[in-house]
Amino acid sequence: MNLPDTTDVHPAWLPPEAFRAIGSRRVRVCGDDPLVETVRREVVEACASYGGCLGGEDGGPVDLVLALTTHGPAAGSSFGPEAAECSGTLGAEGFLVARRRGVTLVLADAGAGLLHGLFHLVRLGEGAFGADRPAECHRPAMGRRMLDHWDNVAVHPVMGQVERGYSGGSLFWEDGALRADLTRVRAYGRLLAACGVNAIAVNNVNVHATEALLLTDRLGEVAALAEQVRPYGIRVYLSVNFASPMVLGGLPTADPLDERVRQWWSATTREVYQTIPDFGGYVVKADSEGQPGPFAYQRTHADGANVLAEALAPFGGVVYWRAFVYNHRQDWRDRSTDRARAAFDHFTPLDGQFHDNVILQVKYGPIDFQPREPLSPVIAAMPATRVGMELQVTQEYTGHQLHVCYLAPLWSEVLGFRYWGPDGPAAAALIEGGGLVGVSNAGDDPFWTGHPLAQANLYAFGRLAWAPHLAPGTILDEWIDLTFQPATTGDPDLLRQTLHAMMDSSWQTYERYTAPLGVGFMVRPGHHYGPDVDGYEYTSWGTYHFADRDGVGVDRSQATGTGFTGQYPAFWAQRYESLAECPDEVLLFFHHVPYDHVLRSGTTVIQHIYDTHFTGARQAADLRELWGRIDAAQLVDPRLFARVAERLGEQVRCAEEWRDQVNAYFFRKSGVPDALGRRIY
């Protein structure tokens, strides 16, 4: 098997030139394992392009050794005590890098680790072959780093081929059939491995009739996808419909405590493993937005998850059970029902009742992937449950990949949030067992992600799942250097500085020109692009801002509101409850305040709304200006330059629309003029 040939597709962060440093060396690869074979193939290909060679294991001179610790005399022992000590402690995916006396060493206990080590060398480039470097061990902070694909097999009449997909069609299916050519799936697996992802769920969490068949009649398609990504250490998962025993098995019930249902899941799962021995497990969206679930049988979500978990356990599989359960048919007149409370209310009473191989998959915020939300209190409230966190890489609420919005700064804040105050653990530590899940933003677009700069979000997701402490700016520079530097013919520093300046704070820019102070939504219902301040205000979805002539925001306090603040540990419960201490950026998520309420920043709420919207829209225009300064020829790929330029035009237009609608709306409600006398319509 050769490396995937995807000539017409943008190479993203693995352009051939990124392998120059490795490919011009004398390399030895030691070990027998399918993933070590992948490493060998990568090295052979790189050497064929850049004049290096893959030597035998016979002791000739080398510049680079990539070895399994299980292979022969500990290669690490000549690299100092640190290297020798690391052997056997690196785990399934960890690796060690060291350099001594002109030889670079990558050591791993298992093939996957060696592959991650190889991609680490790619990131280091020539830096891996300079001065001596002491042994450095790298191990992933989380063992589970998964991308969920909301891909449909058949084109859905409303949601299309990929639900909330902004990158063309699915990489896997087209018009109801598995793609005949899966070369891109292999290339995708390679890109994911190179940023640290090790699992994909291949189909939509909303499992419609055709997609349900993937578990049984169409399992061969899942096996074909697994075959493509297996050489890169990536396992495949499947979203399944909770009612499968009825829909596929012809049973009269899907009651998780019914013996026939149990047997059906067990027999079906056995067949899955007969076909795909390294299958990862199931993802389930149950009792959520119309999907079937255990509530229909008066069973709990622990009953529901456990029946699947029992079926998977003999094979080492897990079930990702989503906590996104809320009433989407509520009456907007009913002020007592608070969607933010729902996951906590449903799931925390079940803490300790889930089997070990259940991962409760919790969206990072209590509502739904808004550009700003407080963290979900569920993550801190279930110590006896394996909890995983879900992020949205696809830009459903952050500009549909038409806007530049680099999301790593948001994710980094989220992962670093300390529920119990500065002395407590960061959220990243609470999800070590369940890991990080991201809804993928990739599709069959030649640039993978619609907006070429949205590739950085996919890359950063993997890097943060591997190492949550990495600074978003550092990850961004890594991505820029890998993606653009090796091939650029212009001034590399200018290119890097420009891209960095455009992207690093683009999430804050997006936040400024959209819904203010954490109140959320205000997007057009259905597709969720562009402004519509009252779009969801009188609907059943439970996402409101309650603006009137006097003020705006949702009272979620315990004193006078829905009591949501009480779901947090004391440190944050107190701060969110207190109008004086609540952080500005989430003030309207927690409180309904008058327009002249003075924020901690010293500005009134209404003036903050005007200021941020004028600033945000201007910053969107600055992005376009910055891009214009790049000499297109430097980028090598003029198509990429044009694609970004075109999308920046739309971002500027849309940001102005947001500015004008939000400002006009609040001016008309409040009657308070802008202190700076700017134009409000």
- Catalytic positions are 289, 368, 396
Interface characters, 227-266, with ligand GCU (x: CB under 6 A): ----------------------------------------
Q: Is 400 in the site for ligand GCU (CB under 6 A)?
A: no
SS3 at position 421: coil
- Cβ 61 to ligand GCU shortest distance, Å: 55
Which of 325/456 has CB closer to ligand GCU? 325
Is the distance from CB of 215 to CB of 247 less than 8 angstroms? no
Which of 418/545 has CB closer to ligand GCU? 545
- Cβ 397 to ligand GCU shortest distance, Å: 8
Q: Which one of residues 47, 97, 147, 205 is an interface residue with ligand GCU (CB under 6 A)? A: 205
Number of shown-chain residues binding ligand GCU (CB under 6 A): 8
Q: Is 149 in the site for ligand GCU (CB under 6 A)?
A: no
Which of 163/511 has CB closer to ligand GCU? 163
Taking residue 37's Cβ as centre, other Cβ atoms within 10 Å add up to 15
Q: Is 163 in the site for ligand GCU (CB under 6 A)?
A: yes
Judging by DSSP bridges, how do beta strands 64-68 and 551-552 pair with one another? unpaired
- Cβ 66 to ligand GCU shortest distance, Å: 40
Q: Give 44-48's long-range contacts (Cβ < 8 A, gap of 24+).
A: 45/2, 45/3, 45/19, 46/16, 46/19, 46/20, 46/22, 47/22, 47/23, 48/23
CA atoms of 221 and 152, how far apart (whole Å):
13
CA atoms of 623 and 644, how far apart (whole Å):
10
Residue type, 31: G
- Cβ 305 to ligand GCU shortest distance, Å: 16
Which of 396/585 has CB closer to ligand GCU? 396
Residues whose CB is less than 8 angstroms from the CB of residue 609 and which lie 6 or more positions away in sequence, other chains included: 516, 517, 662, 663, 666
Closest to 571 measured CA to CA, from 422, 416, 349: 422
Got the DSSP string for 646-661? HHHHHHHHHHHHHHHH
CA atoms of 205 and 661, how far apart (whole Å):
34
- Cβ 489 to ligand GCU shortest distance, Å: 42
Q: Is 161 in the site for ligand GCU (CB under 6 A)?
A: no
Which of 195/284 has CB closer to ligand GCU? 284
- Cβ 668 to ligand GCU shortest distance, Å: 29
Which of 63/338 has CB closer to ligand GCU? 338
- DSSP element (H, E) containing 362: strand 358-363
Q: Is 87 in the site for ligand GCU (CB under 6 A)?
A: no
Which of 206/651 has CB closer to ligand GCU? 206
CA angle 301, 305, 311 (to 5 degrees): 155
Is the distance from CB of 29 to CB of 66 less than 8 angstroms? yes
Q: Is 301 in the site for ligand GCU (CB under 6 A)?
A: no
Residues whose CB is less than 8 angstroms from the CB of residue 625 and which lie 6 or more positions away in sequence, other chains included: none
Which of 328/669 has CB closer to ligand GCU? 328
- Cβ 341 to ligand GCU shortest distance, Å: 17
Q: Is 368 in the site for ligand GCU (CB under 6 A)?
A: yes
Which of 394/412 has CB closer to ligand GCU? 394
Is the distance from CB of 44 to CB of 54 less than 8 angstroms? yes
Q: Is 436 in the site for ligand GCU (CB under 6 A)?
A: no
Q: Is 521 in the site for ligand GCU (CB under 6 A)?
A: no
- Cβ 185 to ligand GCU shortest distance, Å: 23
- Cβ 285 to ligand GCU shortest distance, Å: 5
SS (H, E, C) 241-278: CCCHHHHCCCCCCCCCCCHHHHHHHHHHHHHHHHHCCC
Got the DSSP string for 125-171? GGGGGSS-EEEEEE--S-S-EEEE--EEEEEETTTEEETT--SSS-S
- DSSP element (H, E) containing 570: helix 570-577
Q: Is 109 in the site for ligand GCU (CB under 6 A)?
A: no
Helices (H) and strands (E) in the chain, counts: 21, 20
Closest to 135 measured CA to CA, from 97, 91, 93: 97
Q: Is 513 in the site for ligand GCU (CB under 6 A)?
A: no
Which of 369/513 has CB closer to ligand GCU? 369
Which of 206/565 has CB closer to ligand GCU? 206
Q: Is 151 in the site for ligand GCU (CB under 6 A)?
A: no
SS (H, E, C) 512-549: HHCCCCCCCCCECCCCCCCECCCCCCCCCCCCCCCCCC
- Cβ 298 to ligand GCU shortest distance, Å: 23
Which of 288/612 has CB closer to ligand GCU? 288
Q: Is 556 in the site for ligand GCU (CB under 6 A)?
A: no
Is the distance from CB of 69 to CB of 110 less than 8 angstroms? no
Token digits for 228? Answer: 């493509």
Q: Is 206 in the site for ligand GCU (CB under 6 A)?
A: yes
Q: Is 148 in the site for ligand GCU (CB under 6 A)?
A: no
- DSSP element (H, E) containing 178: strand 177-178
- Cβ 399 to ligand GCU shortest distance, Å: 15
Q: Is 116 in the site for ligand GCU (CB under 6 A)?
A: no
Taking residue 314's Cβ as centre, other Cβ atoms within 10 Å add up to 11
Q: Is 164 in the site for ligand GCU (CB under 6 A)?
A: yes
Taking residue 80's Cβ as centre, other Cβ atoms within 10 Å add up to 14
Q: Which one of residues 13, 172, 324, 595 is an interface residue with ligand GCU (CB under 6 A)? A: 324
- Cβ 326 to ligand GCU shortest distance, Å: 10
Closest to 313 measured CA to CA, from 283, 284, 351, 273: 273
Q: Which one of residues 285, 301, 597, 643 is an interface residue with ligand GCU (CB under 6 A)? A: 285
Judging by DSSP bridges, how do beta strands 26-30 and 281-284 pair with one another? unpaired
Q: Is 395 in the site for ligand GCU (CB under 6 A)?
A: no
Q: Which residues bind ligand GCU (CB under 6 A)?
A: 163-164, 205-206, 285, 324, 368, 396
